[in-house]
Structure 1
Amino acid sequence: MFGIFKSDPTKKLKKEHGILLEKAMHAQRNGDIRGYAMLTAETESVWQRIEQIESNNK
């Protein structure tokens, strides 16, 4: 009954994931390959946390 008042725990992480992907894209376009690699690795760790939370909710 009160499930509609629960916030989605992955919503904040998905927003952070999108922001990091955009930053990585800009770094790649500017030729900052090291920055792109670091941002991509961070994006992957955020995505793994999202998948872990979603698998625990099932």
Structure 2
Amino acid sequence: MFGWLKPDPLKKLSKQYNAKLEEAMHAQRNGDMRLFADLTAESEEIWQKITTLKQQQGLSE
């Protein structure tokens, strides 16, 4: 009945993923390649969580 009150984990993860990619882009533009690599790796971990959650919910990519 109150399903619309529950936070959507996919939406939250998508926001985190986009934020990490943006941080990585800024790090790359500033020439900090180590930070860029770290942030890109973190974003890939978040992407794996997103795909796993989508598979559990039966959603297609």
- What is the CA–CA distance in structure 2 between the aligned matches of 1:25 and 1:37, rounded to whole Å? 10
Aligned pairs for 1:1-58 within 5 A: 2=1, 5=4, 6-58=6-58
For structure 1, which runs of at least 5 residues remain unmatched after alignment? none
For structure 2, which runs of at least 5 residues remain unmatched after alignment? none
- TM-score normalised over the length of structure 1: 0.89
Cα root mean square deviation, aligned: 1.3
* Aligned-residue identity in percent: 49
Aligned residue pair count: 57
Deviant stretches of 4+, over 4 Å: none
Between Structure 1 and Structure 2, which shows a larger proportion of helix residues? 1
TM-aligned CA deviation for residue 3 of structure 1: 7.5
Q: Which has the higher contact order (CA 8 A, sep 6+)?
A: 1
Deviations 1:14-54 (A, max 9, x none): 00001000000000000000000000000000000000000
